[in-house]
Amino acid sequence: MTAVGVVLNRTVTAAITLFGVAAVVFFLLRIVPGDPIAMMIGPAASPSDIAALRVHYGLDGPLSLQFLIWLKSALVGDFGISITRHQSVLSILGDHLPATIELAFCALALAILLGGAVAVLGTLAGRRHGSVVIDAVNGVFLALPDFIWALIFVLAFGVAIPLFPLTGRIDPSLDIPFRTNFLLIESLVTGRFTVAGNVLAHMVMPTVALALPLAAVIGRVLRQALNEAMVQDYILLARIKGMSEPRLILSEALRNAIGPTLALTGVQATFLIGGTVVVERIFAYPGIGNLAIEAVINRDFPLIQGLVLMFGLIFILINIGVDLAVVAVNPKLRHG
């Protein structure tokens, strides 16, 4: 299947999936005991006030009608008004998304670097002692999820050896105007390196916590793929041509190991996004993950729906990206 074919196929599936996701959440929420409107107002409100608010937030009328109305607006990007924040859901999402995007990208990059290094070093160590140790350590890292790493970091670097700030995204004392919400990128691009450093310092712990589990998976899977590649005949021939061991691994074996690794670990990248929900909470990092928990606790329906759709969309995009990458990396697939 060509690249275009993959994208088309996936887009159709994506649309169906998103629709399913939206519908499920929409109807699930309406079953919730606990009326958000009543929670919002005080007991002194009159029934007409409550009714008016219901209309304002689109919570009146039969369920299926509500869904259709919501769907219609959603298609043009209007996700309604947040019940708790009184802003348009879209703008709230827009405010908080950049923080999570920066976090996720850094975590992904770190995971690939770490996992790749572990796999390559382990392969270089071959059958020697070091290889067994690396594998064992990798095993421990495989077991613990990002949530636990985040907590360990809080203890280790927040309390025991205070190295990094524990909460937030940037020092509140640094009252510097930003034009976008991409604090890291913007400060780097505009040359404000001390500010960038401050933002980075706040990002270190959540990034590492998110990256470690994915790195462990990449390390394990890539290692196995490399092992399989290294026993192939063409490696033998390259060795006979006089190639050094590191060059063999990096230049010959690695390119054939990446494909299968991507196929198996691509899914894991979505877990990284899911992990932001709790990790951001632990570090009070103002991204969409933290937002999500707040929204659920406060029963903010419009915000929850917008968030679920956003997460769903991100997941689907990641899946498409991985599929495309798998095709791109394997020359046999490219020619169909």
Partner 1 sequence: MAEAALVKPLDDPRGERVPVIRRLLRDRKVVVAGGFILFLAILAIFAPLIVPIDPLAQDLSNAEAPPYGFTGAVPDFLLGTDDLGRDVLSRVIFGARIALTVAFVAATLAAALGTTLGLAAGWYGRWIDTIISRLVDIWMAFPAVLLSILLVAILGSGLHSVIAAIVVIDWTRFCRVVRAETMAQARMDYVTAARAIGFRRGAILLKEILPNIVPVLIALLTLEMGIAVIVEAILSFVGLSVSSDTPTWGGMIAQGRQIVHESWWVMSVPLLMLCATVIAFNQLGDGLNRALDPMLRR
Partner 2 sequence: MTESLLSVRDLGVSANGRPVLRDVSFELAPGEVHGIVGESGAGKSTIVKLMLGILPRTMEMTRGRVEYRGRDLFALAPAAFRALLGAEIALIPQDPLTALNPGRRIDAQLTDGFRLKRKLPRREADARAIALLEEVHIREPHRVMRAYPHELSGGMRQRVLIAAAFALDPKLVIADEPTTALDVTVQKQILRLIRGMQERHGTAIVFVTHDLGVVAQICDTTSVMYMGKVVEQGPTDRLLTAPAHPYTAALIAANPRYDRPEVGLTPIPARVIERMRAEIAADDSHG
331 lines the binding site for partner 1 (CB under 8 A): no
| Comparison of 105 and 234: residue with beta carbon closer to partner 2 | 234
The residues in 117-176 that bind partner 1, with binding defined as CB under 8 A, are: 139-140, 142-145, 147-148, 151-152, 154-155, 158-160
Q: What are phi and psi of 44, to 5 degrees?
A: -80, -5
Tell me which of partner 2, partner 1, none is bound by residue 299, counting a contact when its beta carbon lies within the kind-specific cut-off of 5 to 8 angstroms: partner 1
Long-range pairs of 144-149 with CB within 8 A, sequence gap ≥ 24: 144/212, 144/213, 145/213, 145/275, 146/209, 146/210, 146/212, 146/213, 146/272, 146/275, 146/278, 146/279, 147/209, 147/275, 147/278, 147/279, 147/282, 149/208, 149/209, 149/212, 149/213
Q: At what angle do helices 3-31 and 63-75 cross, to 10 degrees?
A: 140
Q: Find, among 306, 310, 13, 278, the residue nearest to 148 by Cα.
A: 278
Selected binder of partner 2 within 50, 238, 293, 328 (CB under 8 A): 238
39 lines the binding site for partner 2 (CB under 8 A): no
332 lines the binding site for partner 2 (CB under 8 A): yes
| Comparison of 159 and 174: residue with beta carbon closer to partner 1 | 159
123 lines the binding site for partner 2 (CB under 8 A): no
Q: Find, among 28, 34, 207, 194, the residue nearest to 108 by Cα.
A: 207
331 lines the binding site for partner 2 (CB under 8 A): yes
Selected binder of partner 1 within 6, 7, 18, 40 (CB under 8 A): 18
271 lines the binding site for partner 1 (CB under 8 A): yes
Helix ranges restricted to H, 32-85? 36-40, 47-56, 63-75
336 lines the binding site for partner 2 (CB under 8 A): no
Q: How far is it, in rounded angstroms, from Cα 185 to Cα 206?
A: 17
13 lines the binding site for partner 1 (CB under 8 A): yes
Question: 6: how many CB neighbours lie within 10 A of its CB?
Answer: 16
| Comparison of 193 and 234: residue with beta carbon closer to partner 2 | 234
Residue numbers at the binding site for partner 1 (CB under 8 A): 13, 16-18, 20-21, 24-25, 28-29, 31-33, 139-140, 142-145, 147-148, 151-152, 154-155, 158-160, 267, 270-271, 273-275, 277-278, 281-282, 292-293, 296-297, 299, 304, 307-308, 311-312, 315-316
